[in-house]
């Protein structure tokens, strides 16, 4: 079946569904809202079939905005998990559309296989008390969702569109929150050891999407040498600083500095790179000089007060360590990390979280040492194999990015949060991107 025939085959049923919905609304006015949602869904599927590239870019932007946090605050707690599930389901759906239109592909060296092994091992060994087989399966699907686009052939223009969208996500997340802040519906900044920029989500999640945005800007600067990408890189760094997330900021600065110092480029000269490093080096002591006057901002407040463990890791980690010790080799099944700290317990009420804030520890609970070792190995092999054919700059930036990702995983929830969808989808786009015609001259 040709692509055009596939689209026409989907459009006809969609048109019939829409017509039927209109008749149903006329006959049963009480069903207007459910039927309107169904009509919107049918229309969205039709548009995604016709325009998979813009649909994927729009999905990436909405995912990076972490709408689940805004909807949680505006509507109610039930929207948190519902929105996360919807976002990941849409991502899988878009990947299926790409597979239907352009074909599927197999990746033997991909982290999803580690999750599959942990799922089966948990079922065979026995699950953590309170965790059901269905819960474990849902958690597994949520864990593999960021990798959905790895298993389909992608349309022309998809990688470029995803990279462009990635670098704008933090800015759009902040701008989208401005109307809500002005209306008094949701604050742009939240108080947590000082003011933290939150955007539509949580400061930590905004920081999580700043990292791939910064990497995307670096790749575009090295690829095209445009001043606009340098300016956007600076803006994303500023947003990351205002989130007050110390570890992600440190990793972003480290990746950017190592890239500018060691990676050559024909479009971004050594003189330009040295000038950018000099300006950044001058900005750091100036900020430190005025830190005492900027203590309202969380990062500078922490520098002045030397506060530590604001995420409550000393309260969270002992329970996870004890759970991992009870089944050290195969763990308790995917999803067990959600049950170690009772959501209605004293620790969760105090910290407003029951996540481990350490992915190595969480995976030790869910997959044991075998699952953890397999996941780390497949991640490393996936990145090394996928980056091998890339241009020199792309290869080095992405490898540095995933080293930073591995370090960040020791103190944050980088695999289970929606920003993981942004990072992995962005990485997939870079891995599949065609080199520029003169890339061999600019390595």
In tens, the pLDDT along 201-248 reads 989 999 999 999 999 999 999 999 899 999 999 999 999 999 988 899
What is the model's pTM? 0.89
In a domain, 87, yes or no: no
In a domain, 13, yes or no: no
Per-residue pLDDT band for 350 (boundaries 50, 70, 90) equals confident
Q: Give the range among 218-232, 286-300, 391-405 with minimum mean pLDDT.
A: 286-300
Number of domains present in the structure of the chain? 1
Average pLDDT in the 36-51 region? Answer: 72
In a domain, 39, yes or no: no
Share of the chain above pLDDT 70, in %: 82
pLDDT at residue number 435:
77
Per-residue pLDDT band for 158 (boundaries 50, 70, 90) equals very high
pLDDT at residue number 69:
87
Asked if residue 251 lies in contact with residue 211, where contact means CB atoms within 8 angstroms, the answer is yes
Give the N- to C-terminal CA distance of the chain in Å, as an integer.
41
Which of the residue ranges 5-19, 130-144, 275-289 has the most confident prediction, judged by mean pLDDT? 130-144
In a domain, 275, yes or no: yes
Average pLDDT in the 323-344 region? Answer: 94
Q: Which residue in this structure is represented by tokens 């407003």?
A: 352
Q: What pLDDT, in 10s, does the model give residues 356-367? A: 999 999 999 999
Can you read off the two tokens belonging to residue 80? Answer: 């948190």
pLDDT at residue number 301:
58
Per-residue pLDDT band for 443 (boundaries 50, 70, 90) equals very low
User: How far is residue 76's CA from residue 390's CA, in Å, rounded to a whole number?
Assistant: 45
In a domain, 62, yes or no: no
Per-residue pLDDT band for 440 (boundaries 50, 70, 90) equals very low
pLDDT at residue number 2:
54
Average pLDDT in the 100-115 region? Answer: 96
In a domain, 81, yes or no: no
Average pLDDT in the 290-294 region? Answer: 53
Instruction: State which residues form the domain around 203.
Output: 107-441
Burial degree of 120 (CB within 10 A; 0-12, 13-18, 19+): middle
pLDDT at residue number 361:
96
Pairing of strands 189-191, 195-197: antiparallel
Residue 429's nearest CA partner among 218, 165, 55 is 165
From residue 31, how far is each of 14, 28, 53, 78, 333 by CA, in Å?
19, 6, 33, 22, 41
């Amino acid at each position: 079946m040709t692509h055009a025939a596939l689209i026409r085959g989907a459009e006809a049923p969609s048109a019939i569904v829409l017509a039927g919905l209109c008749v149903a609304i006329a006959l049963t006015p009480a069903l207007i809202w459910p039927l309107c949602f169904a009509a919107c869904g049918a229309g969205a599927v039709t548009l995604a079939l016709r325009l998979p590239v813009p649909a994927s870019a729009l999905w990436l932007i909405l995912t990076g905005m972490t709408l689940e946090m805004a909807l949680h605050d505006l509507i109610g707690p039930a929207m948190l998990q519902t929105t996360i599930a919807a976002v990941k389901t849409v991502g899988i759906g878009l990947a299926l559309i790409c597979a239907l239109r352009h074909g599927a592909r197999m990746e033997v060296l991909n982290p999803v296989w580690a999750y599959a092994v942990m799922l089966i091992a948990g079922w065979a060994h026995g699950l953590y008390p309170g965790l059901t087989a269905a819960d474990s399966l849902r958690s597994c699907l949520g864990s593999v969702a960021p990798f959905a686009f790895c298993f389909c052939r992608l349309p022309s223009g998809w990688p470029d569109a995803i990279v462009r969208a990635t670098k704008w996500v933090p800015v759009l997340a902040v701008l989208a929150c401005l109307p809500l802040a002005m209306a008094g519906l949701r604050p742009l900044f939240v108080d947590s050891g000082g003011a933290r920029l939150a955007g539509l989500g949580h400061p930590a999640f905004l920081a999580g999407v700043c990292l791939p945005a910064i990497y995307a800007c670096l790749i575009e600067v090295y690829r095209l040498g445009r001043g606009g990408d340098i300016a956007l890189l600076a803006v994303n760094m500023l947003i990351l600083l205002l989130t007050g997330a110390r570890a992600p900021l440190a990793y972003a600065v480290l990746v950017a500095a190592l890239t500018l110092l060691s990676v050559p480029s024909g479009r971004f000269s050594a003189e330009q790179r040295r000038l950018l490093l000099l300006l950044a080096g001058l900005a750091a002591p100036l900020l430190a000089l005025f830190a005492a006057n900027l203590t309202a901002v969380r990062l500078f407040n922490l520098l002045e007060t030397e506060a530590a463990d604001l995420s409550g890791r000393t309260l969270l980690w002992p329970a996870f360590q004890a759970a991992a010790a009870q089944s050290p080799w195969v763990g308790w099944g995917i999803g067990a990390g959600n049950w170690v700290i009772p959501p209605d317990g004293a620790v969760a009420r105090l910290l407003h979280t029951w996540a481990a804030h350490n992915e190595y520890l969480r995976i030790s609970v869910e997959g044991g040492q075998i699952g953890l070792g397999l996941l780390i190995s497949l991640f490393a092999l996936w990145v090394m194999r996928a980056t091998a054919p890339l241009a020199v700059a792309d290869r080095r930036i992405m490898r540095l990015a995933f080293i930073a990702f591995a370090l960040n995983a020791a103190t944050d929830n980088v695999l289970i949060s929606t920003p993981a969808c942004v990072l992995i989808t962005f990485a997939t786009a870079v891995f599949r991107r065609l080199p520029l015609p003169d890339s061999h001259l600019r390595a």
